[in-house]
Amino acid sequence: MVDALGVAVVGFGWMGRVHTRAYARVRHHYPLLGLRPELVTVAEEVPGLAEEAAKQFGFASATRDWREVAADPRVRAVSITAPNFLHREIGVAMAEAGKHIWIEKPVGLTVADARAVADAVAEAGVQGAVGFNYRNAPAVETARELIASGGIGTVTHARIRLFSDYAAHPESALTWRYQRERGGSGVLGDLASHGADLARYLLGDITSLTADTAVFLPERARPTAATTGHARAAGGEPGPVENEDYVGCLLRFASGARGVLEACRVSVGEQNTYGFEVHGTTGAVFWDFRRMNELGVSRGTAYQDQPVSTVYAGPGDGDFAAFQPGAANAMGYDDLKVIEAHRFLRSIAEGTAYGTTLADAVHSAVVLEAMARSAERRAWVDVPPQPYR
**Which sequence spans correspond to the domains of the chain?**
3-132, 134-327+356-382
Q: What pLDDT score was predicted for residue 237?
A: 83
Q: What pLDDT score was predicted for residue 174?
A: 87
Q: What pLDDT score was predicted for residue 230?
A: 67
Residues of the chain with pLDDT under 70: 1, 224-235, 388-389
* Dihedral sign for Cα atoms in the order 146, 336, 95, 85: positive
CB 331 within 8 A of CB 313: yes
CATH of domain 134-327+356-382: 3.30.360.10
Return all residues near 238 (Cβ < 8 A) that are at least 6 apart: 174, 219, 220, 221, 222
Could you give phi then psi for residue 376, rounded to 5 degrees?
-70, -40
Q: Say what the alpha-carbon torsion angle 47, 50, 51, 53 is, to the nearest 10 degrees.
A: 130
Q: What pLDDT score was predicted for residue 226?
A: 58
Q: What pLDDT score was predicted for residue 171?
A: 86
Q: What pLDDT score was predicted for residue 233?
A: 66
Q: What pLDDT score was predicted for residue 221?
A: 87
Q: What pLDDT score was predicted for residue 177?
A: 85
Candidates 3.10.20.30, 3.40.50.720, 3.40.1710.10, 1.10.1200.10; correct CATH number of 3-132? 3.40.50.720
In DSSP terms, 261 is beta-bridged to: 160, 249
pLDDT in tens, 153-174: 999 999 999 999 999 998 888 8
Return all residues near 50 (Cβ < 8 A) that are at least 6 apart: 12, 42, 43, 44, 62, 63, 64
Q: What pLDDT score was predicted for residue 172?
A: 86
CB 178 within 8 A of CB 169: no
CA 49 vs. chain centroid, Å, equals 24
Any idea what the Cα angle at residue 249 is, between residues 243 and 252, rounded to 5°? 140
pTM above 0.85, yes or no: yes
pLDDT in tens, 170-204: 888 888 889 888 888 899 999 999 999 999 999 99
Spatial separation of the C-alpha atoms in residues 289 and 188, rounded to whole Å: 19
Q: What pLDDT score was predicted for residue 224?
A: 67
Spatial separation of the C-alpha atoms in residues 190 and 237, rounded to whole Å: 25
